[in-house]
Homo-oligomer: A and B are copies of this chain.
Amino acid sequence: MSDPADHLNQQVWDFVYAYDAAYDRAARAAGLSSAQACLLDHLESGSRTMGELAAELLCDASNVTQLVSRLEGGGLVDRVPDPADRRVKRVSITQAGRGARREVHRAFDFPTARLGRLTEQEQRRLSELLAKTLAPDPDRVPRG
């Protein structure tokens, strides 16, 4: 009974649950769904094609079409055909989109309210532990 690994699993579940709920609340406070807020986040570093967005968001292209159409309707993104290949559409965030994104991040209290409880040293330690869990494909690291 009361396996320590089960306890950790439950804590991780609770942590993820709290994180998701906080992000969703923050998005809604800015009038967005979390999927929309997430898409805007991906445009912060620069424009994307529809296909790139689908790959980054791990979803179908038809879904991206819908999300972008809604955001475009609200003036939060632009979608323009690439002059070099007119099949391709480049999506970029507008000023209004940046404003909405800032609003989400201002309302997203998880980092300060939760992670902020940790000391700097604890944050470094957490960062190391997370890095270990997230490292890609340790199975197939070449041995030679």
Contacts and interface: CB of A to CB of B under 8 A. Distances in A.
B132 A9 contact: no
B20 A127 contact: no
A5 B122 CA distance: 11
A122 B118 contact: no
B117 A132 contact: yes
A114 interface: yes
A62 B111 CA distance: 32
Given A15-B134, A114-B134, A117-B138, A7 B129 contact: no
A131 B26 CA distance: 23
Interface in A13-55: 14-16, 18-21
13 contacts: A5-B115, A11-B127, A15-B16, A15-B130, A16-B16, A16-B19, A16-B20, A20-B20, A21-B58, A115-B133, A117-B138, A122-B132, A126-B129
